[in-house]
Every structure is written in structure tokens, then in C-alpha cells.
Amino acid sequence: MIEIRNLTKSFGDNLVWEDVTFRIEDGETTAIIGRSGCGKSVLLKHINALMTPDSGEVLIDGKNIFELDYVGQRKLRQRFGVLFQGSALFDSINTFENIAFPLRYFTDLSEHDIHDKVMAALRHVNLESAAEKGTSELSGGMRKRVGLARAIILEPQYIMYDEPTSGLDPQTADEINELIVVMAEQFDITSIVITHDMHSVLEVADKVAFLDQQKLSWYGTIDQMRQSNQKNLIDFISASEYQIKSKSSI
Amino acid sequence: MNAFKELGKYSSLLYQALRSSTEFSTYRKNLFHELVKVGYDSVPIIILVGIFTGSVMTLQSAYQLQFAFIPLSTIGAIVSESILIELAAVISGLVLAGKVGARVATELGTMRVSEQIDALESMGFNSVSFLVVPRVLAGVMMFPVLYIVASIFGIGGGLAAGYFSGTVPPADFLMGARMYFYPWNVVFGFTKSFVFGFIITSVACYKGFFAKGGAEGVGKSTTEATVLGCIYILLADFVLAALLL
Ligand SMILES: Nc1ncnc2c1ncn2[C@@H]1O[C@H](COP(=O)(O)OP(=O)(O)O)[C@@H](O)[C@H]1O
Ligand SMILES: [Mg+2]
């Protein structure tokens, strides 16, 4: 379980959010939603200690991760897979090597076993054919899938997605949403999905955390969200729904 | 950002690099690549720089001294000494600030703005050890080697220019070069190139590592790395001359 408690972060004079508190239960998928620039990515980078807050704590299995030393934090990070917004593939190596990369550095697997694991991961994301491709030859959707294969290769306990569907066409976005659900079910992974795409939220999430006005403005289940009459939440959702409708009418 | 803050950030990056330089297994492979890229790949341009520097110096000294009643060997002495003390290190340094500094800043800057550095960190890597340490090490290891290359080809170029232009016979050139050869000059030039290698790679790593703002930000950090690299080389050259001569 991940507990985020009274977390506050600012960059210089620029307050990102303050006093953010919520919990992520094991096995659940939590969506963190909010407008762009509201600090979703910054929050994600606190959950695996890539950034340090001004105050507050993040407890994982009861331990405050900001009190760990650097080595402890690095061990902790390996329990997370992260799919970055732009996929963050290493452009100096090909698709196969990108996925094999963590295995080469953090395991003692033989070349044969590495090959098998990488191909299995590629199969999970339906991309076996792309193994030998350079990363620059991949489309946006393919890059996300390679990033996802790399994120799960060390069999993490948690996986975090930073805007996994942004910049993709609706069909490809749906494929990614499906993958998120499959990953969560098949590997029993706890997922955190950052997005401003309500369609994606409805597809994948159990719980929703809404960042707005520099705080955690709303938190609850999908059903609670549908019934909520909190104005800024409704506005955010209806803005997205308008988009969804206009997308499907094209 | 003010200069003190920048200096603080730069020092803290170097401190982290120093601390993580013990994680040899993390950067062993990258170090090998960097030694090739910084050293081996720079050899052609350094040979070119050496030959031209030496031959131009010889021709110009011969021209300037053509009416002075001095032995021709003096030209060999002037050329070889200038190359060993100053030119082989400084001119190579300025050229490499463009070649090596720009490449390093662009590489790291691109990795930063495309979140590849975050990806490394989130996998549990020490990104400073993985990216910065091998580049700075390659700089301090290969620049002195390149200094030697530049010196040999510089003096060789000077000798050849004297011969082909008919101004300084090789025997005179070599006699002058040998008569005024002090090992200390080589130590001095060697030390300089070591310091320049450190400056160029560490400044480029710093600029790249903290790049922000997309492609434009990477361009900015590359330009700054190159310009600052050149300026700091000239400053360091002055400081070292004041300290060691
Ligand atoms: N490393 C950083 N340094 C300074 N400001 C930052 C940094 N990262 C993010 N910010 C700022 O924090 C705010 C939230 O950014 P971000 O989390 O990326 O938003 P989003 O919700 O779109 O993911 C923005 O105003 C951004 O400018
Ligand atoms: Mg973001």
C-alpha cells in the first residue's frame, strides 16, 4: 500500500500543490487527473522518490521513502515500472536492447534467458515484430508499448503511467487502455495512471484523484465520481466528455 | 540564476560524480565508448590542428626573423617550445570544446528533456555515475594523449614546413628543438591538457544534465557548453601559467 500524506511541493515561489493526502491500495488502479500543468507528473515523481517534497511523506508498506538513503531509494525505484509521457526510450540502442537494458544491469541472466524474457515482454504488448527496429522508426503508439514492455521487464510491484494515451489517435489510445487493464489483471500490478483523458479513466481506473487549485480537490471511486456534484470536477469531466463525443461523431 | 547558485549546482554535481566514481560496474561499458569517442575519434582533427599550427608557426617565425642575424636553429627552438608549452594544449582544447563539449552537452541535454535521465533514475540507476563519470574520466584520460599527438604532429609539421619552404633545414630545426628542450615544458603542457579535459567535459555534462525546455533548451545548453568551455580554458591557461611558470 502507498500512503501519500500531507505532501506539499513548490519550485521556488511557484507552489505546485499542498497538503495532498490519499492512499493507493494494492491491486487497485488509481487515476490521477487534472488540467495540464497542475502537477500530475510532479506528483508521480514523488511516489518513487525522484523528487523530494517540501513537506509531507510517502509511505510504502509503512516506511517513509524520503527517509531512505540513496541506495535504499534506488532499490525502492526498482519496485516501480514507469512509462514516461514521451516513452523515454534510449535512442542510442534498438527496441530489443531498450527492453533488455534493465536486465543486463540488474540481473545475472544469460543471453538466452534475456532473449526469452524480452520476446515475452514484446509479446505482451503485441510488438514481437519490432524487436530489431531502431527507436526512431517506431510510431507514437509503438513507442508507448516498447516503453511499457521495458517498464514491466523487472516484474515490478507497481506501475506508473504518465499520460499513456496523450498524442495518440483514439483507436491506438484504446489499445493502450486495454493493455493497462490487462497488465493490472494478469500481473496483479498496482497501477497509477496520470491522465487528462476521461475516456481512459473510465476504462482503467478504480479510484480517481483530481488535482485542481493547487490541492487534491476530489478523491473517490468511479461510481462516486459519476454521482459527485462538485462543480470543478463536473466541469473537468464534461470538458472531456465533450471531447469524447466530438471524437466519436467524426 | 546567479553565478553563485550555478557554481553550487556545478560543484554538487561534481561531488556526486566523485562519490559515485566507485561504482565502476555501472559505467565500465560507457567509459570504453567514451574513450573511443573522445580520444580515438578526435585523432584526425588533432593531427590536422597539430600539423597546421606547427607549419604556420615555422613559416611565420622564419619570415619575422629573416633579417635578424640569428642561427636558424633558433626557429626550431621557438616553434617546438611554443607548441609544447602552449599551442598543442590550448588550440586542441579550443577545438575539442567544440567537438567533444558540444557532443556531450547535446547528448545529455537530449536525454534530460526527453526524460531518459528520469527513466534511468527510475530504473534504479545512479544517472550521474552512468552518464557523467565516464565522460569526465574519458576527458581527463584522453586529452593528455591528444596533447602528445598534437605536439608530435606540430613539431613534425614545423620541421616539414621549414624543409619544404627552404627556410629552415631539418638539421638546424632539430638542433634548436633539442637544445631548448626542457622536460618541464612537457609536464606543463600535459598538466594543462589534463585540466582542459576536465573543464570541457564537466562543464558540458553540467549544461546537458540540467538542460530544460525541449529542443530549444538543448540548443542553448550546447551553445553555453561550447562558449563557456572556451572561456574557462583561456582562464585556466592564464591561471596555470601564473602558478606554474
Ligand atoms: N523540474 C522542475 N523545475 C521547476 N518547475 C517544474 C519542474 N517540473 C515541473 N515544474 C513545474 O511544476 C508544475 C507542474 O508540472 P507538471 O507536473 O509537469 O504538470 P502536469 O500536470 O501537466 O504533468 C508546472 O508549473 C511546471 O512548470
Ligand atoms: Mg505531465
DSSP chain A: -EEEEEEEEEETTEEEEEEEEEEE-TT-EEEEE--TTSSHHHHHHHHTTSS--SEEEEEETTEEGGGS-HHHHHHHHTTEEEE-TT----TTS-HHHHHHHHHHHH----HHHHHHHHHHHHHHTT-GGGTTS-GGGS-HHHHHHHHHHHHHTT--SEEEEESTTTTS-HHHHHHHHHHHHHHHHHHT-EEEEEES-HHHHHHH-SEEEEEETTEEEEEEEHHHHHH---HHHHHHHHHHHHHHHHHHH-
**What is the CB < 6 Å shell around ligand 1?**
A 11, 16, 34, 36-42
What string of H, E and C letters represents the secondary structure of A50-68? CCCCCEEEEEECCEEHHHC
Residue A78 has φ and ψ, to the nearest 5°, of -70, -10
- What pLDDT is attached to residue B1? 65
C-alpha of residue A214 to centroid of ligand 2, in Å: 15
For residues B183 and B191, the answer to whether their CB atoms sit within 8 Å is no
- What pLDDT is attached to residue A249? 47
User: CA-to-CA distance for A117 and A95, rounded, in angstroms?
Assistant: 13
- % of chain B with per-residue pLDDT over 90: 92
Question: For ligand 1, what atom is nearest to the CA of residue A12?
Answer: 4
pLDDT tens string B60-92? 999 998 888 889 999 999 999 999 999 999 999
* pLDDT over 80 (residue B134): yes
Of B116, B124, B126, the CB nearest to A88: B116
pLDDT tens string B184-243? 999 999 999 999 999 999 999 999 999 999 999 999 999 999 999 999 999 999 999 999
C-alpha of residue A103 to centroid of ligand 2, in Å: 27
Residue ranges per structural domain of chain B = 25-41+76-151+182-244
Q: Is B15 on the interface with A (CB under 8 A)?
A: no
Half-sphere exposure of A227 (CA within 13 A, CB side): 4
Inter-CA distances, A68 with A25, B126, B210, Å: 21, 15, 24
- What pLDDT is attached to residue A250? 44
Just give the CATH number of A2-79+160-249: 3.40.50.300
- What pLDDT is attached to residue A244? 56
> Residues in chain A with pLDDT < 50?
249-250
Residue type, A192: I
The secondary structure element, H or E, covering residue B168 is none
ipTM for the complex?
A: 0.90
Q: Is A78 on the interface with B (CB under 8 A)?
A: yes
- What pLDDT is attached to residue A246? 55
C-alpha cell at B117: 535521465
A interface test, pick of B1, B19, B122, B212 with most A CB neighbours within 10 Å: B122
pTM of the full structure? 0.91
